[in-house]
Chains A and B, each alone.
Chain A
């Protein structure tokens, strides 16, 4: 898609969307949002970038292969259950620590895993389906 408006627009919008997706991820525990929605937004922003600048450019922005992102997300989600298991004996049991006024816990780590995995999943499909025959 060769549109100057779309290209210039995306260049500005994409970082904003990425920041928004992180915002959704972080605030998800108390307000609408969360890892799943955040991951979808982030994936959508990269897909948009890919549409305007070409999928090669989107892959360059991502740096990692989208499949690697899936693996990292999965790993974080799986590992986030271990501290709870060590402390209480139950896998995925939440553990919370207060750092000043902010509470940090393993469920947030889990959500981060979901976020990365969703980005990876959507982009893997988008990248695969956008490939041309013989490419």
Chain B
């Protein structure tokens, strides 16, 4: 069933991509059916025995899919929001030619995410992890005509892929330490792993992957950048699912690495820094999507922080917050998309009083905002209560309450800005009349916002069905309190009240905050560092290209042969012994072609006329053919002769386009001659060396011996080419084919350019 759930996504994605013209006829109201089927499959996935499929058994690699509580919790979030986002995206892109492409990509992404959630071993997880990076690249850059979208997509891919590389390294280290990639095996060896001297490396590398994916400071800047994506994509990837992959992996590995060095320290430190940076930045924005993006950064930070605290209560709170955040942030993002679409702007200053014209959106936004601010009876309240309680219970983590208060304050501010100001705030001057969004687009925000209210009301189901099984796969401990509607009047409620009050203050001074934020633009930031590094890389590449690819044939020949010669000299210098030179007698008929070759070679180099040089080279080739015949290699001689003939034909065409040979007084002529002489002598030297050492003599004998019985042919050369080493030949002819097509394409494009001039 797991394989069905994951496979269905990829199958549907492929089917929609292939049959996009037919699929375009499916009405918007039904476009979410494939996602619903996936949700159905996910919902009935049984927990229990893993599904194993050998992948590369020689390397001990296998695909392992396993459903446990944690995986099911994330998979249900992914699939549920997937259905709503599909309906929303179909409405958002209704009638546009891109609709099918978006739906197919969303399904592709959903499959990769479900794969992560259900991975039973680290290699499988990594494969799906990379798939999410690729699919999110395609989704962020969905508006491929826009330079900004392309740049954001590239930035997100660079950062998440770099983190992915670190993650791979970390996985390999961890697999080496633990002796397996299977998560259950690793968890059973957690104590051994934690004591291993290399465990710190595994932790640092794996967390680098988690932090880049989940937009933790200082890598957080790609997430606001990714807001160039269409809103359905932002709502799905950048609030509910993909950015939570890092959090998921950190939770997944808590039973394995929870007691390893640096684990909790890094999670707490980076999580806290991310809360501060994201929380403050969210209040300094004026664009609805950017406000929500930074608010998401802050939420991800607090999730990481709770995982770092690592007590059963903290983990329990993190899982509750994951649910709550996915619901209210998904709702707010989709509302922001509706507002953007209907009112034509996302600037908070130009929005206000929309409740009259968009009542349904306003209701959804208000409910989601109440959940975000942590109002009593909403999922956000439950999550926040549990989070505060888990931090206050131990003296070492009590200082984090400052960070959590900032987090609550920022969340409250964002909630008032998006959930109140836009719909009930002072009406701004708007161009034309604003109307309510289409029902297909309203389904997602309404359902998500109502679910944020329903979860605490059904708290028993929420706890037993989702949170508790998930907690069991992360920790062996029990939480003090289950998720509830109401926790009574205590210190935490007081803190909540304080954060609400300060959120109102922050809201009333929002304009000042924005002005202050604009003044701080000069501060160093990850985004600027990234831009600098990127520009540096590009100019370094340009420098190298200018140096080595300068379009001068002579320089290419020189640099290539000098490099080869230098490497060969290095090899000769370290190799023991010198080859014996001479000692073979030469008969007259053997000497004749050799002398001809030498004379012709000198003539070719000395000639001032291209045609004469080509003719001399021809003599070299014919002389070599004669030598091959003498040495008993008729195959080689035959090929050599035909190649010589064809070379002349090609030269006839090419010569008229080549520059004339350099005049004799060129200052480079002497150095070139010296280089050529050195390279020539070296090749002769190597030839001698090769003929005298025959470490592979047995290989030659074997081929001669096996040619008839195994290869059914007496021509050993040909049998080697088409049978014994056929794969090599296949590679060689591929190179030939690519080279020919490349030559033709480049030459023709040059002709076309010259003709156009």
Complex: A53 Cα to B658 Cα, angstroms: 25
B645 CB within 8 Å of chain A: yes
B643-664 vs A, Cβ < 8 Å mask (1 yes, 0 no)? 1011001100110000000000
Complex: A48 Cα to B645 Cα, angstroms: 10
A101-133 vs B, Cβ < 8 Å mask (1 yes, 0 no)? 001010110110110011011101111111111
Q: CB within 8 A of B744: which of A40, A108, A124, A135?
A: A124
Q: CB within 8 A of B714: which of A30, A47, A124, A134?
A: A30
Given contacts A29-B719, A40-B639, 9 further A-B contacts (CB under 8 A): A30-B715, A35-B722, A37-B642, A44-B645, A117-B737, A121-B740, A124-B741, A125-B744, A134-B751
What A residues does B730 contact at CB under 8 A?
77-78, 81, 92
Please tell me if the beta carbons of B740 and A114 are within 8 angstroms of each other in the complex.
Answer: no
Distance to closest chain B CB from A6 (angstroms) = 13
Q: Can you list 14 contacts pairing A with B, beta carbon distance less than 8 Å?
A: A28-B718, A35-B721, A40-B639, A44-B649, A92-B727, A94-B723, A107-B719, A110-B729, A114-B722, A121-B737, A124-B744, A128-B743, A129-B654, A135-B751
What B residues does A121 contact at CB under 8 A?
736-737, 739-740
What B residues does A108 contact at CB under 8 A?
722
A120 and B740 contact, Cβ closer than 8 Å, known pairs A33-B638, A44-B642, A114-B722: yes
B713 CB within 8 Å of chain A: yes
Closest to A122 in B: B646
A107 and B722 contact, Cβ closer than 8 Å, known pairs A32-B635, A128-B747: yes
User: Which B681-730 residues have C-beta < 8 A from chain A?
Assistant: 711-715, 717-719, 721-723, 726-727, 729-730
Distance to closest chain B CB from A96 (angstroms) = 5
What B residues does A24 contact at CB under 8 A?
638
Please tell me if the beta carbons of A133 and B751 are within 8 angstroms of each other in the complex.
Answer: yes
Complex: A103 Cα to B723 Cα, angstroms: 15
Please tell me if the beta carbons of A67 and B741 are within 8 angstroms of each other in the complex.
Answer: yes
Complex: A94 Cα to B718 Cα, angstroms: 13
Please tell me if the beta carbons of A96 and B635 are within 8 angstroms of each other in the complex.
Answer: no
B608 CB within 8 Å of chain A: no
What B residues does A135 contact at CB under 8 A?
751
Please tell me if the beta carbons of B642 and A125 are within 8 angstroms of each other in the complex.
Answer: no
B433 CB within 8 Å of chain A: no
Distance to closest chain B CB from A78 (angstroms) = 7
B673 CB within 8 Å of chain A: no
What B residues does A124 contact at CB under 8 A?
740-741, 743-744
B734 CB within 8 Å of chain A: yes
Please tell me if the beta carbons of A126 and B638 are within 8 angstroms of each other in the complex.
Answer: no
What B residues does A40 contact at CB under 8 A?
639, 642-643, 646
A70 CB within 8 Å of chain B: yes
Closest to A103 in B: B712
What A residues does B643 contact at CB under 8 A?
40
Closest to B745 in A: A128
Q: CB within 8 A of A77: which of B733, B741, B744?
A: B733
What A residues does B715 contact at CB under 8 A?
28-34
Closest to B638 in A: A37
Please tell me if the beta carbons of B712 and A31 are within 8 angstroms of each other in the complex.
Answer: no
B634 CB within 8 Å of chain A: yes
B431 CB within 8 Å of chain A: no
Complex: A125 Cα to B737 Cα, angstroms: 10
A interface: dominant SS: helix
B interface: dominant SS: helix
Count B interface residues, CB 8 Å: 41
Count A interface residues, CB 8 Å: 54
What A residues does B723 contact at CB under 8 A?
94, 107
B574 CB within 8 Å of chain A: no
A43 CB within 8 Å of chain B: yes
Please tell me if the beta carbons of B639 and A36 are within 8 angstroms of each other in the complex.
Answer: yes
Please tell me if the beta carbons of B740 and A125 are within 8 angstroms of each other in the complex.
Answer: yes
Distance to closest chain A CB from B645 (angstroms) = 5
Complex: A120 Cα to B744 Cα, angstroms: 12
Complex: A33 Cα to B717 Cα, angstroms: 9
What A residues does B672 contact at CB under 8 A?
none
Please tell me if the beta carbons of A134 and B755 are within 8 angstroms of each other in the complex.
Answer: yes
Q: CB within 8 A of B718: which of A34, A67, A130?
A: A34
Complex: A118 Cα to B744 Cα, angstroms: 15
Please tell me if the beta carbons of A94 and B650 are within 8 angstroms of each other in the complex.
Answer: no
Please tell me if the beta carbons of A125 and B718 are within 8 angstroms of each other in the complex.
Answer: no
Please tell me if the beta carbons of A114 and B733 are within 8 angstroms of each other in the complex.
Answer: yes
B754 CB within 8 Å of chain A: yes
What B residues does A29 contact at CB under 8 A?
712-715, 718-719, 722
B748 CB within 8 Å of chain A: yes
Q: Which of A36, A94, A108 has the most chain B CB atoms inside 10 A of its CB?
A: A36
Q: CB within 8 A of B635: which of A33, A67, A70, A131?
A: A33
B169-182 vs A, Cβ < 8 Å mask (1 yes, 0 no)? 00000000000000
A59-99 vs B, Cβ < 8 Å mask (1 yes, 0 no)? 00000000100100110011001000000000110101000
A22 CB within 8 Å of chain B: no
Complex: A105 Cα to B650 Cα, angstroms: 35
Complex: A70 Cα to B714 Cα, angstroms: 28
Complex: A35 Cα to B649 Cα, angstroms: 21
Closest to B733 in A: A117
Please tell me if the beta carbons of A125 and B727 are within 8 angstroms of each other in the complex.
Answer: no
Complex: A113 Cα to B722 Cα, angstroms: 10
Please tell me if the beta carbons of A37 and B653 are within 8 angstroms of each other in the complex.
Answer: no
Distance to closest chain B CB from A82 (angstroms) = 12
10 tightest CB-CB pairs across the interface, nearest first?
A: A29-B713, A134-B755, A128-B744, A121-B740, A40-B642, A32-B634, A129-B653, A107-B722, A30-B714, A34-B718
Please tell me if the beta carbons of A128 and B722 are within 8 angstroms of each other in the complex.
Answer: no
Distance to closest chain A CB from B625 (angstroms) = 12
What A residues does B717 contact at CB under 8 A?
34
What A residues does B650 contact at CB under 8 A?
125-126, 129
Complex: A118 Cα to B721 Cα, angstroms: 14
B746-757 vs A, Cβ < 8 Å mask (1 yes, 0 no)? 011001001100
What A residues does B739 contact at CB under 8 A?
121
Distance to closest chain A CB from B746 (angstroms) = 9
Closest to A47 in B: B649
Complex: A135 Cα to B751 Cα, angstroms: 8
What B residues does A118 contact at CB under 8 A?
733, 736
Please tell me if the beta carbons of A107 and B649 are within 8 angstroms of each other in the complex.
Answer: no
Distance to closest chain A CB from B728 (angstroms) = 10
Q: Which of A24, A31, A129 has the most chain B CB atoms inside 10 A of its CB?
A: A129
Complex: A82 Cα to B642 Cα, angstroms: 32
Complex: A132 Cα to B711 Cα, angstroms: 47
Please tell me if the beta carbons of A94 and B741 are within 8 angstroms of each other in the complex.
Answer: no
Please tell me if the beta carbons of B726 and A81 are within 8 angstroms of each other in the complex.
Answer: yes
Closest to A121 in B: B740
Closest to A98 in B: B712
Q: CB within 8 A of A30: which of B654, B713, B727, B729?
A: B713
Distance to closest chain B CB from A18 (angstroms) = 13
Please tell me if the beta carbons of A70 and B721 are within 8 angstroms of each other in the complex.
Answer: no
Closest to A92 in B: B726
Closest to B719 in A: A29
What B residues does A81 contact at CB under 8 A?
726, 730
Q: Which of B650, B653, B714 has the most chain A CB atoms inside 10 A of its CB?
A: B653
